[in-house]
């Protein structure tokens, strides 16, 4: 009897094993990465050797940190110049300064920008009192507006370096007709969208002109330069610094 029962039990166990099908692991649907910012979000760490649109967007945000007399190319290539600018940005905000753009660097950028990609302390309307569509200059409307964005990020860096006191912007982009109406130079940088005229504010003209040297402005004109005693002009373009009354 024991033998028979044992055989029956063994058969039942064998049948159960044969009929058992191991569950197949099913991967959960991939969860999209959360949008970290309403303007632009980075999905990976960036370091020297990287390239692409994510690098170009980083370069725009650190354009104001090229070092004295320097200028950072917005070319989408993470070279030594971009690394140095990232280091200076990180130092300016008390972040680990390794020249690698990762979570803490991007978090600070997200904190500093609005949903339209302009820095929190500046607005497109300040950089264009001429018209609403950025047309009529020496470049396409899109190019002029893109240049203004870079200018605003340079001004944001300059503002932070000067203790985060507000910087007064009195104008920026001009169409040809707007430029002619104010007697601007025929090839003024205002026609390209990468210029801004600054009021004295709490800093004073000379402090602004001298500080601008560290933030990627190739053209700085201020007190003592003809027609610039009542404002400081900062822009991209050729290296022309002249504010004689400020020792520049």
CA angle 50, 55, 59 (to 5 degrees): 130
Residues that are catalytic: 228
Q: What is the DSSP string of the chain?
A: -HHHHHHHHHHHHHHHHHH--PPPP-PPPPPPPPP--SS----S-B-TT-BSHHHHHHHHHTTT-S-TT-----SSB--HHHHHHHHHHHHHTT---SS-B-HHHHHHHHHHB-TTSSBTT--GGGGB-S-SS--SSSS-HHHHHHHHHHHHHHHHHHHHHTTT----EEE-B--HHHHHHTT--TT-GGGGT-EEEE--TTT-HHHHHHHGGGTT-SEEE-TTSTT-TT-EEEESSS-EEE-GGGT-
Q: Do 167 and 203 touch, CB atoms closer than 8 A?
A: yes
Distance CA 223, CA 233 (A): 10
């Amino acid at each position: 009897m024991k033998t028979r029962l044992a055989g029956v039990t063994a058969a039942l166990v064998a049948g159960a094993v044969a009929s058992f099908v191991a569950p197949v692991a099913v991967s959960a649907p991939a969860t999209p990465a959360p949008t970290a910012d309403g303007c632009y979000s980075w999905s990976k760490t960036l370091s020297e050797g990287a390239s692409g649109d994510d690098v170009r967007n980083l370069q725009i945000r650190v354009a104001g940190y090229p070092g004295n007399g320097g200028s950072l190319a917005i070319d989408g290539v993470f070279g030594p110049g971009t690394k140095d600018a990232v280091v200076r940005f990180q130092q300016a905000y008390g972040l680990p300064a390794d020249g690698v753009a990762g979570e803490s660097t991007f978090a600070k950028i997200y904190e500093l920008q609005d949903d339209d990609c302009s820095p929190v302390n500046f607005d497109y309307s300040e950089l264009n009192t001429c018209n609403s569509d950025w047309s009529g200059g020496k470049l396409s409307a899109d190019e002029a507006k893109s240049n203004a964005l870079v200018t605003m990020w340079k001004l944001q860096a300059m503002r932070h370096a000067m203790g985060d006191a507000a910087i007064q912007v009195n104008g920026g982009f001009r169409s040809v007709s707007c430029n002619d109406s104010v007697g601007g130079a025929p090839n003024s940088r205002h026609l390209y969208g990468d210029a801004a005229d600054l009021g004295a504010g709490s800093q004073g003209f000379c402090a602004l002109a001298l500080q601008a040297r560290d933030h990627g402005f190739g053209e700085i004109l201020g007190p003592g330069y003809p027609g610039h005693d009542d404002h400081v002009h900062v822009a991209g373009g050729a290296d022309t610094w002249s504010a004689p009354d400020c020792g520049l």
